Structure 1
Amino acid sequence: MKQFLMLGAFMAGTLGLTVAQTIQSPARTQQYGISSNADTTIQLAANLNSPASGNEISGLFDKQNAAGPSAPRLNPRAVAFVDDYMEKYSKSLQDMKGWALPYFNMIDAVMIEYGLPRELKYLAVIESKMKAGATSWAGAVGPWQLMRETAIKLGLKVNKKVDERRNYVKSTHAAARYLKDLYAIYGDWLLVIASYNAGPGTVQRAISKSGSKNFWDLQYYLPSETRNHVKKFIGTHYIFEGGGGLTTLTKSETVAHYGQQLYAFNRKMTAEETSDARSQQVAGKYQSHIVARHVGMEMEDFNRYNPDFDKVMAASANGYELKLPAGKMDTFNANKYQILQESVQFLLSGSAASTL
């Protein structure tokens, strides 16, 4: 599979964005119960939805039946490709759902940490079939199929003795940083997936030639491999999730379906939200996704109120100034001991993880 091009020069010369040069510390990998010297992981809390297969597939594209009345619609220009893809690969991907679940759950946790949609894990499915040993004809390596230069730019060690592209955890952190940087350029997940495959320069040229930033309008200015790569991602999402979502839509489709409530890391609290919010200093091993679940908040909103919560809580002895809507803070205080207990149990479960 054709590997994406280097992001560094494009971002430095065109956008002035920076790519993190440091990788997560051993303490961070231990948070997930993962040895820094081995590709090991744990089964975290998130569960995948039932996949679509067989006769269910055609129903996903029907305007009346697509995964519920409020589900995002598949763009008509993708239906034929995605329908065929799902017919061919539903069985093998359902099998993957079993053996790869621990890896999926680890990726979920990392994506949450970076404020990214968890469904981006399906990019690793189409890149490498979730195989650490995968190597492309172009030299891309690992579950995220990183080229050597790109991996080094993202802070991974790649030399004769070690190749951290094959390390599930470290390469996932690197991929998350790269995906977040790409989203800062495009604000559109389909263009991010295209750029991950072909490089931001290729996507930018397609935008210039087509005069559009809509993937469905510019797709034929991209290499066929790249436009099919995006559709494979959409098809994989439909198989695992039983429908579409944030990462299967263009920016305009996202606004039409969800309104202006886009992505947490790209939005700030409104004046009304700031006025209503309450703050409270918290310390201990609280985990963001467990807090959010107990108080009834989507992770996107929790991260918007509390950016870098898990990072700060893991690194600081002074805790974190938790911000929540007034009613949510009352719920937190009423359940904080249970939330803390579940958070600690979540972390302790990692120490018992077995090597995969």
Structure 2
Amino acid sequence: MKRKLFISGILGLGWLCMAYSNDNGIAKTPANGGKKLNTVVLSQQFEYPGKIATDSADPKEEDLNTAFTLGYNSANGIRLNPRAISFVQDYMEKNGEDLRKMKSWAKPYFNMIDGILKKYGLPSELKYLCVIESELKSTATSWAGAVGPWQLMPQTARDLGLRVGRGVDERKSYAKSTHAAALYLRDLYREFGDWLLVIAAYNGGPANVYSAIKKCQGSRNFWKLQNYLPAETRMHVKKFIGTHYIFEGQGSVTTLTKAEVTEQIGITATHLLNRRLTTDELDNAKSTEVSGKYNSAAIAKNIMMDLSEFNRYNPDFDAIMASNDNAYELKLPADKMDLFIANKYIILNESVQMMLTGATVGK
């Protein structure tokens, strides 16, 4: 009979600790070239951020057997995908008591990382990538040349603005490497729109993820395409989920596919979770509640805003406005909001015409 699982302990498998500077970790094959991301020219398409696997812990004492067997987390009701339940159970059970120590000594590092991720509009739970990448060790080095808490490859780090040379290696700086990793993660999310695919791409490179999508007939569901990914990348995502549950005692948007987020949290709540604006963008934004037949393309045209940028501020706008809710907290940069207020009746009229004719707003 399986012994009860407690979220009180957990530190990585002993063999995982061998993956550090002595380069005795699991062998990896750098990813080959692929599609460039939106804002940063990322050479990691040709080399992937090497991995140093490890795990993590949490202090709460709770019997998770029932929760995982049912596929639910008792804390917030987010369901764990059935394909992950067995792995997460075993992962938590095997990874020992030592990681309970990390919960206390890592707190200053986590607080710093949380603050930086927030500035980039990223979920704070992404900090657990550091745990499975490097155990938060600034000197962690993979055989492939990835260095630091975020395990960035040399050229990748340079592309992201870090200095890497004989006299200085900013990949070892917790703050600077976190800023760089946040840029990369933000671009990956803009590219894939799914946190599990982001984590897979961070480990194995975007090219491997696109290859898996193609082989899976275009599906972007991690649980369907996982077997087309390199084994290490597949396990990396599952270890992230397990580590997340160990530290948080529950799931979040970063442990679900995009479809699962919509299904479990609901489209109305999801648009707020996925907004992910930076601190500066939030400080400069204005909000107003809108209802009626407004259309994103009509709004974007009349306020002279790129439609993709409008959608970043207002995820799922058209879907929510077409739903029974028919109300949305519209968020825009201050100058764009002024234009919207001044032209809202023109915009509404154009939106209605679009709905009636099925036409696209002219540029």
TM-score by length of 1: 0.63
Contact 1:60-1:67 within 8 A present in 2 as well: yes
Name the residue aligned to 1:279. none
Look up the equivalent residue of 1:265 and give its one-letter code.
R
Change (3 A) 1:50 1:197: closer
Alignment check: 8 A CA contact 1:202 1:222 kept: yes
1:18 aligns with 2:39: yes
Aligned equivalents of 2:277, 2:164: Cα separation in 1: 31
Aligned with residue 138 of structure 1, among 132, 139, 144:
144
Partner Cα separation in structure 2 for residue 64 and residue 133 of structure 1: 38
Aligned pairs for 1:1-356 (under 5 A) are: 10-12=34-36, 17-19=38-40, 51-52=59-60, 56-63=63-70, 66-68=73-75, 70-89=76-95, 91-211=97-217, 212-260=219-267, 261-262=270-271, 263-265=274-276, 273=289, 305=331
Matches of 1:3 and 1:178 in 2, distance apart?
20
SS at match of 1:141: coil
Describe the superposition over 1:205-249 as per-residue Cα deviations: whole angstroms up to 9, x where unpaired: 000001211000000001111111000000000000001111000
Q: 1:274 to 1:142 in 2, by over 3 A?
A: farther
Residues matched between the structures, number: 250
Question: Cα offset for 1:146?
Answer: 0.3
Contact 1:51 1:242 in 2 (8 A): no
Shift of 1:79: 1.0
Aligned-pair CA distance for 1:188:
0.4
Map of 1:351 onto structure 2: none
Letter in 1 for 2:254: T
Task: Give % identity.
Answer: 54
CA distance in 2, matches of 1:238, 1:18: 32
| Structure-1 separation of matches of 2:203 and 2:262 | 25
Displacement after TM superposition at 1:80 (Å): 1.1
Residue 18 of structure 1 aligns with an amino acid whose one-letter code is T
**Unpaired runs of 5+ in structure 2?**
1-25, 43-56, 292-329, 338-363
Q: CA deviation at 1:60?
A: 3.4
| Letter matched to residue 289 of structure 2 | E
Structure of greater Rg: 2
Q: CA deviation at 1:51?
A: 3.9
- 1:74 alignment partner, SS class: coil
Residue 4 and residue 273 in structure 1: after superposition, are their counterparts in 2 closer, same or farther (change >3 A)?
Answer: farther
**Are the equivalent residues in 2 in contact too, given 1:11–1:18 (CA < 8 A)?**
no
SS at match of 1:265: coil
8 Å CA contact 2:287, 2:331 repeated in 1: no
Equivalent pair of 1:188/1:251 in contact (CA under 8 Å): yes
Return closer, same or farther for 1:65/1:230 CA change in 2, 3 Å cut-off.
closer
Displacement after TM superposition at 1:265 (Å): 2.6
Distance 1:270 1:93, change over 3 A: same
Residues 52 and 90, structure 1, Cα contact 8 Å, conserved in 2 = no
Cα distance in 2 for residues equivalent to 1:266 and 1:148: 28
Q: Distance in 1 between matches of 2:167 and 2:192?
A: 36
Letter in 1 for 2:275: A
| Structure 1 unaligned regions, length at least 5 | 22-48, 276-303, 308-319, 324-356
Give deviations 1:73-93, integer Å, cap 9, x for gaps: 111101111111111225232
* CA offset digits 1:322-347 (Å, max 9, x no partner): x9xxxxxxxxxxxxxxxxxxxxxxxx
1:92-138 deviation line (CA, Å, top 9, x unaligned): 32211111110001010011111100000000000000000100111
Matches of 2:240 and 2:63, distance apart in 1: 19
Provide the rounded CA distance (Å) in 1 between the counterparts of 2:72 and 2:255. Answer: 17
Structure 1 distance, partners of 2:250, 2:89, is 12
TM-score under structure 2 length normalisation:
0.62
Read off the aligned partner of 1:214 and give its amino acid letter.
Answer: N
User: Matched residue of 1:273: which SS?
Assistant: strand
More RCO (CA 8 Å, sep 6+): 1
**Equivalence for 2:346:** none
Letter in structure 2 aligned against 1:184: R
| Aligned mates of 1:155, 1:97 — CA distance in 2 | 30
In structure 2, distance between residues paired with 1:205 and 1:74: 26
Give the Cα–Cα distance (whole angstroms) in 1 for the partners of residues 119 and 290 of structure 2: 22
